Structure 1
Amino acid sequence: MAIDIEKYRNQQKQTAADAVKDLREAYAFISLTTNMPYVECEEVDYNDQIHLFARKEDAESMQKELEAKGDRVRILELKTVEIQVPADPKNPAGEKKTMYLNQVRQHLGTMPFIGVNAVCFHSVGGEETCIEIKEVLPDDFEKKVGENPLYQPNVQLTGLYLMQEARKKKELVDQKHLRELDEEFSANMVKAKLFLAVLPPEGKERDPKLELKECRLPYLKHQSGDIFFPVFTDVWEFQKYTKDKKNLRSIQIPFKDLTKFWVQDAKAYMINPLGFALPLSKEMIPKLLTKFGNE
């Protein structure tokens, strides 16, 4: 009797999706070159995917394979943890209740923000199955992120691919591929609207309308002493940066207007300082606009 290959593949994917939904612990990769999930292009359907492992041993084995190719990663352990939250959200200092945070689901829920549309699941038995991320997330979650102007997954994704390749050891870098990645990222960035952090005058932190001329611009100081001006591809990256800086507000501007904002003595802009941390000199911006269009 002939086997219906397509039906078998669909059943295999559904089994894997159900298994991923039920995971209470798992292992994933964080790229040491971007401080973000390690992403790769899957070779069959060309999905942009991450790897998720049921066993740490399998993650460790693949970690060695990746490092031999120049992709340095660390293993991220995902668990289900007990947390205490206010029983009444309106009274955060009041009585607490116990909840359980599933870090596997939390990790997968960040994937649409960086343009990842698939996960390669490595089961306990060692079987690998690539499933679309929408199969393990709430309905339309991926679509809602993609349609929200506060997030720009295509800029994030192409930036991750670029920096994963660019920061390999020199002898392992595919120069032709690197140039292609650079062009793709640059074309996306030129069309993007970027976020800046601003510090309002004291007492006006919550004003609905900001007078930018009254605001100060924060900067980053590298251990070398160099100063950089932080810029963010989306509100998620901005929020990571401002986690302990409650007074900062965000403004969103077209890429073409970026040179209107500058921190004195800065060496360069720093795109997503807590993510792929890509420096961009002020002088490069008009060159990028000339090459990739100023729409």
Structure 2
Amino acid sequence: MSDASHVSSLTDLNSWMKANGVSGISGVDTRALTVHLREHGSQNGIIHCFDDPNLLNLQELKSIAMAPIAPPVATELPHLKSYQVSQTGPRVCVIDMGAKRGIMQALSALGCAVHVVAGRDDFVTQIMDLHPQGIVLSNGPGDPHDVPTDIIEQLRVLLRRGIPILGICLGHQLLAITIGAKTVKMRHGHRGSNHPVYNIMTRTVEVTSQNHGFAVDAQTLPENAEVTHRSLFDGTIEGMRLLDYPALSVQYHPEGHPGPHDSHYIFKDFVNLAKAHEW
């Protein structure tokens, strides 16, 4: 890495990274790496310092499809957390599987009384005590099949209560699993803030922000689910709604933090469902 060149610089990037324990690489042919991933699909990678690369057995590295990533990411909040309480809007519970703050901000901006509940243990009891008018299944990392079965069973309980549900990213995948569908690891994951998605209901195209390596298997989707959005890159499912419950979900990030705001209407549609729900 080159030395600092700006007149106000106090140190160079390499020294700063070493001082702060930040890993970095340089001198990599990124074009060749891009071509390799395009031709061979997503792969495991590692940044490591060693004199003899033969001492590291790369074959022993686990595939992300087998690594239990998602469950530990569920927030360790020991109690219910109120994000921003509104006296006039519908009560909405966000089940936190690693939620982005932009989701709570988008709901609050629409006047919702937002409460965040940890996506672990017995969250159904906490949620029912609040008498919510809507429930959001948040985003999160990893393979959705690594989420414990007791979490899926609790989601089934909430779904059968008839409370409006919105699933986002991982939440979209978990909603699909809850109704009996399966998910698959993608050959090329969707990463970036410029992914075009076709809205089947309105026949319009939306530019979306995405960050996922798994997708709902369209062949396993039951008849009570209707696909509402598809990727214009590879045709994978990007959104769905249930025909027998007030539930909808999207694979991308409609909050767009960061990213485009073409899909903010998803929150408005959900809030309208929540307003119509009465206990």
Give the TM-score normalised by structure 2.
0.26
More helix by share: 1
Give the TM-score normalised by structure 1.
0.25
